[in-house]
């Protein structure tokens, strides 16, 4: 009798379990929205678009890029946090995502609990330190001398308060013993346009978006924040070898995240599709030329890195004495 009752209970549960399981197993059967929490034109946006084209081929479904800039990526991340956990709305972002956890006293979501890390598809080696051609400094040492001689601090642009470019600039300021004025914008594209147009004197763009302007003579690259020179601009020295001993700042990862409670089979499908996409030679060439290494850690490993970085960047923010928001 007991066995009969248990069997009936198990059968009764099938209608509740099977539809969701079937939907996940058939994933994806319609277009996917990739929320990029920054405006078009910046590094996060350009990487997301190039990767999405290859992932589309693996999933056999379109990936629609949805740029939702604002508050250093918080607006877009919040949209994903509050989306249905079915794999049809995912987040494509950068290391700024974890920096925000240490920069803002209150966020509309829980960075650790409201998202599932899928993979870190690229690992950045550093940023370019660039100036508008009107700035007379030709080297890092000359820039430091110029900053020390002027009555007003040089202005530098970033995609927002607390992102990697901001931290790289603040570390440079501290190591060089100079004053710089931070001018935050609403994304990498606007920040780059500010230095191109002369609104600010300096910027620390990713190689992927800054190198073309350097080669065209629209920006002058004085240094690279990473530990070794970037392959696409071999004549640009690291900031350490250019005169600021011990300076090093990499640009962290770019990755995809799903809302919490997204089925494991969906997360796995997205992960394996990204890993396959990263085998494309042109995509790999694009990432490497932009100063990034193709990565693709499994969800469990990326989750470990992600949680470790939340603590690491909170410590960097405190050490840089950046006022939390």
Question: Is residue 263 in a domain?
Answer: yes
Same domain, 118 and 202: no
Same domain, 60 and 116: yes
Question: Is residue 152 in a domain?
Answer: yes
Residue 288: CATH number of its domain: 3.40.190.150
Total domains, the chain: 2
Checking 28-31 for CB contacts under 8 A at 24+ apart, the result is 28/59, 28/61, 28/87, 28/88, 28/269, 29/61, 30/61, 30/88, 31/61, 31/62, 31/63, 31/64, 31/88
pLDDT at residue 10 in the model: 41
- Least Cα distance to 253 among 129, 119, 73 occurs for 119
Question: Is residue 233 in a domain?
Answer: no
pLDDT over 60 at 8, yes or no: no
Centroid of chain to Cα 230: 18
Question: Is residue 17 in a domain?
Answer: no
Question: Is residue 307 in a domain?
Answer: yes
Same domain, 214 and 148: yes
Same domain, 86 and 116: yes
Same domain, 134 and 91: no
- Mean pLDDT for the chain overall: 89
Supply the pTM of this predicted model: 0.75
Tell me the per-residue pLDDT of 15-37, one tens digit each, with 9 for 90 and over: 444 444 446 789 999 999 999 99
Q: 208 is in which domain, residue-wise?
A: 128-224
Same domain, 35 and 120: yes
Residue 147: CATH number of its domain: 3.40.190.10
């Amino acid at each position: 009798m007991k066995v009969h009752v248990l069997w009936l209970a198990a059968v009764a549960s099938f209608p509740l379990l099977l539809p969701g399981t079937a939907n996940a197993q058939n994933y994806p059967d319609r277009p996917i929205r990739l929320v990029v929490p920054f405006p078009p034109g910046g590094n996060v946006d350009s990487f997301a678009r190039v990767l999405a084209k290859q992932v589309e081929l693996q999933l056999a479904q379109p990936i629609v890029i949805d740029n939702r800039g604002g508050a250093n990526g918080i607006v877009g991340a919040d949209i994903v946090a509050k989306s249905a956990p079915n794999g049809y709305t995912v987040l494509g972002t950068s290391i700024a995502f974890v920096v925000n956890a240490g920069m803002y006293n209150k966020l509309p979501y829980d960075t650790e609990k409201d998202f599932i890390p899928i993979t870190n598809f690229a690992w950045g080696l550093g940023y370019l330190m660039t100036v508008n051609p009107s700035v007379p400094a030709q080297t890092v040492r000359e820039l430091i001398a110029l900053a020390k001689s002027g009555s007003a601090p040089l202005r530098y642009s970033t995609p927002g308060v607390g992102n990697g470019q901001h931290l790289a600039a603040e570390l440079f300021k501290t190591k060089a013993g100079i004053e710089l004025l931070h001018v935050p914008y609403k994304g990498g594209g606007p920040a780059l346009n500010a230095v191109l147009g002369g609104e600010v004197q300096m910027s620390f763009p990713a190689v992927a978006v800054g190198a073309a302007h350097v080669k065209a003579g629209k920006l002058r690259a004085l240094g690279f924040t990473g530990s070794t020179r970037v392959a696409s601009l071999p004549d640009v020295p690291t900031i350490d070898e250019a005169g600021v001993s011990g300076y090093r700042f990499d640009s962290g990862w770019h990755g995809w995240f799903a809302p919490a409670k997204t089925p494991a089979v969906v997360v796995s499908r997205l992960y394996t599709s990204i890993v396959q996409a990263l085998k494309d030679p042109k995509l790999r060439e694009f990432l490497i030329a932009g100063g990034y290494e193709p990565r693709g850690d499994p969800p469990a490993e990326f989750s470990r890195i992600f949680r470790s970085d939340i603590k690491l960047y909170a410590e960097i923010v405190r050490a840089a004495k950046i006022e939390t928001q």
